Chain A
């Protein structure tokens, strides 16, 4: 993997994750309690409801990115609020 020359898979996943961020913000501004899924510290990985490839990629990010004591929180985007509360996982 070359951080200077991005491969098509990295480009694809990055773009999708940014789109997920946009989707989360839109949903959370409509229903502000969704912000409760965001931790006060650490990092967030979003999970889409409808893209298995991205789900697998983002799950793989968790052990790779978890360095030191960084907490990684998985946040599902595009699911009902009750299910969001039940799916929060602290790694």
Chain B
């Protein structure tokens, strides 16, 4: 049975969150979205998004309106692995991505 898990994680006292959507069947991941949103001037601003739209895992850099500025294809691995690697990349680089948003 295909299940969709949607949730948002509170990550700090500024109000930043991570939105997660995982479409899966058991342990198999069929699609996912992981999006970091920064609380800036009392509004949540999408900063970076990892997802599987267009049939492959990739990372989208976003502007103030949440639109894609550019995207980078990530490793061609099964989506469960790509999901873990996406979160690892976010854990390592979130601060830089957030700072880049503020500079746009």
Show the binding face of A for B, using Cβ within 8 Å: 1, 3-4, 6, 10-11, 13-15, 17-19, 21-22, 25-26, 29-30, 32, 35, 38-40, 43-46, 57-58, 60-61, 64-65, 72
In the complex, A3→B45 CA distance in Å?
Answer: 12
Count chain B residues whose beta carbon lies closer than 8 angstroms to a beta carbon of A: 36
Dominant SS among interface residues on chain A: helix
Residues of B within 8 A of A45 (CB): 9-10
Q: A11-B95, A35-B5, A43-B7 are in contact. Are A18 and B13 (CB under 8 A)?
A: no
Check B67 for interface membership: any CB of A closer than 8 A.
no
In the complex, A19→B89 CA distance in Å?
Answer: 10
Contact call A18/B7, Cβ cutoff below 8 A: no
Q: A22-B88, A32-B26, A43-B7 are in contact. Are A1 and B94 (CB under 8 A)?
A: no
- Beyond A1-B14, A14-B94, list 11 extra A-B contacts (CB 8 Å): A4-B40, A6-B14, A6-B98, A13-B13, A22-B84, A22-B88, A25-B83, A29-B29, A32-B24, A35-B5, A43-B7
In the complex, A65→B87 CA distance in Å?
Answer: 22
A-B pairs under 8 A by CB, number: 93
CB 8 Å contact bits of B71-82 with A (1 = contact, 0 = none): 000000000100
Smallest CB-CB separation from B32: which chain A residue? A25
Residues of B15-65 contacting chain A, CB below 8 A: 15-18, 20, 22, 24, 26-27, 29, 38-41
Query: Min CB distance, A5 to chain B, in Å?
Result: 9
Query: Min CB distance, B64 to chain A, in Å?
Result: 14
In the complex, A32→B90 CA distance in Å?
Answer: 23
